[in-house]
Amino acid sequence: MITLEFFAGLKDYFPPVMEVRETPEDINRLRRYLIDQQSFATTLLEQCRFAVDDTFVQEDYRLRQGDLVLVIPPSSGG
């Protein structure tokens, strides 16, 4: 199981914190899983960055049981 935290506009599609019982192999598969869960969020999810334990990771990062994954959409400053 992994725990996901969602930020900003993603909270329109997902709860702020969500647990996934079956740990996806990597970030790429996690992104696909999330798109399958909420296809309306596809464009936003395709632009998101992912962090594991507060460190940004690449698409091929292998997830492990117990990971805390932050799903961070793009943002703009002013």
List, for residues 39-63, the tens digit of each pLDDT value. 999 999 999 999 998 899 999 999 9
Each residue's pLDDT tens digit, 11-39: 999 999 999 999 999 999 999 999 999 99
The answer to whether residue 78 is domain-embedded is: no
pTM value? Answer: 0.91
The answer to whether residue 37 is domain-embedded is: yes
Q: How many domains, in total, are found in the chain?
A: 1
The answer to whether residue 39 is domain-embedded is: yes
The answer to whether residue 9 is domain-embedded is: yes
The answer to whether residue 65 is domain-embedded is: no
The answer to whether residue 52 is domain-embedded is: yes
pLDDT bucket at 77, cuts 50 / 70 / 90: low
What is the extent of the structural domain holding 16? 2-60
The answer to whether residue 69 is domain-embedded is: no
Nearest of 1, 3, 5, 4 to residue 23 by alpha carbon = 1
75 near 8, Cβ under 8 Å?
yes
How far is the C-alpha of 65 from the C-alpha of 74, rounded, in Å? Answer: 26
How far is the C-alpha of 53 from the C-alpha of 37, rounded, in Å? Answer: 23
Res 78 pLDDT > 70: no
The answer to whether residue 7 is domain-embedded is: yes
71 near 52, Cβ under 8 Å?
no
CA distances from 7 to 18, 25, 52, 58, 73 (A): 12, 22, 14, 18, 7
